[in-house]
Amino acid sequence: MSDIIHVAVAVIVNDNAEVCISLRHEDTHQGGLWEFPGGKIEQHETVEQALMREIKEELNLDIKDSQPLITIAHDYQDKKVCLHVNKVLSFQGQSSGMEGQKVAWVPVDQLSSYKFPAANVPIIQAVQLPDRYLITGKIIDEDDFLTKLKNALDEGIKLVQLRIKDDGLNIDSVRSLIQQASTLCIQAEAKLLLNISEDYLKIIDLSNIRFDGFHADSRTLKRLSKRPGGKLFSASCHNVEELQKAKKLNADFAVLSPVQKTASHPEMPAMGWLQFSKMSDICTMPVYALGGVSEKDMENAKRHGAQGIAAISAFWH
């Protein structure tokens, strides 16, 4: 088996929230499939340098700025690749298939209808996910809950984890919170994941409540033998073993913590950004940074390969 081929890949999004993709020639590896443009990283090139060169050669676009989005290692049996994916922040020019390939600008939410190589699938997930993931926190009562969730949605939150564990709430209150969260998220066009105690889930009928999937805490993740139902599934992870379990269950994304020291879990050592980057790189799925992070850490998180940040206190007020 040949050595791993390192490839620089560009996710180029225009002002209309459309992503640039191109069609591979039939006589090439994975021919006839759509892909995010890019190419092999030459010796002594950085990802950014390779990206600028390849996109100019392929599309006649000038990449001005980009940041890491996700790293994906994939084994095609006949070839091993490692995709170093950057999201392009600014570019100049009009796209053109300089190598005779078909080029298309596709709305982000329609990417899943196109056939891509297997290694590109996590890129689609990363492109379609927002960079902020709200985890709901403590509440005084239902009015307090509604106020805080409305505030977060009004501030642009598009991904919500409704977390209800052993909070001493009765079944009617929990059912009401789930229903109200569903209604508000639908109105705001936000995705809702449930992280609800099993004791509650055994009793509550969710069949008439619209939500997008489930989030598993690390204890639940350890017990799971198959992926839960729903469109989305995410998991909380603290180490490589848990990330690997999430990957085995085909999680759409993970939350990795604690990146920095937190007041809520002072006994847990912080991994720091370097360790976060190393761990997230090996799991081939979008990963949110959690633990002692806020909006001011967003740029740093993305530089270290994070999808974005997950937080309670930063968004729940």
Please give the sequence-ordered ranges of beta strands (E in DSSP) within 204-312, or none if there are none.
213-216, 232-237, 253-256, 287-289, 308-311
The pLDDT tens digits of the residues spanning 278-305 come to: 998 888 899 999 999 999 999 999 989 8
Backbone angles phi, psi at 174, to 5 degrees: -65, -45
Provide the pLDDT for residue 16.
92
Q: Give 168's pLDDT tier (boundaries 50, 70, 90).
A: confident
Contact in structure between 98 and 14 (CB atoms under 8 Å): no
Cβ burial, residue 70 (10 Å; 0-12/13-18/19+): buried
The pLDDT tens digits of the residues spanning 193-241 come to: 999 999 899 999 999 999 999 999 999 999 999 999 889 999 999 999 9
The residues, any chain, with a CB within 8 Å of residue 65's CB and separated by 6 or more, are 88, 89, 90
Secondary-structure percent of the chain, ordered helix, strand, coil, rounded to 5: 30, 30, 40
What mean pLDDT is predicted for residues 99-114?
94
Contact in structure between 181 and 149 (CB atoms under 8 Å): yes
Residue type, 191: K
pTM of the model: 0.89
Instruction: Write the DSSP symbol of residue 13.
Output: B
Q: How large is the angle between the packed helices 272-281 and 240-248, nearest 10 degrees?
A: 30
- Name the token pair of 195: 């992280």
Contact in structure between 313 and 79 (CB atoms under 8 Å): no
Q: Give 1's pLDDT tier (boundaries 50, 70, 90).
A: very low
- Name the token pair of 116: 């891509």
What is the four-CA torsion angle of 70, 74, 79, 84, rounded to 10 degrees? 10
> Which domains does the chain show, CATH number per domain?
5-128 (3.90.79.10), 132-311 (3.20.20.70)
Q: In what order do the strands lie in the sheet with 103-107?
A: 34-35, 18-23, 103-107
How does strand 103-107 pair with strand 18-23? antiparallel
Stronger pLDDT, 176 or 27, i.e. the higher one: 176
d(CA 126, CA 104): 19
Contact in structure between 91 and 64 (CB atoms under 8 Å): yes
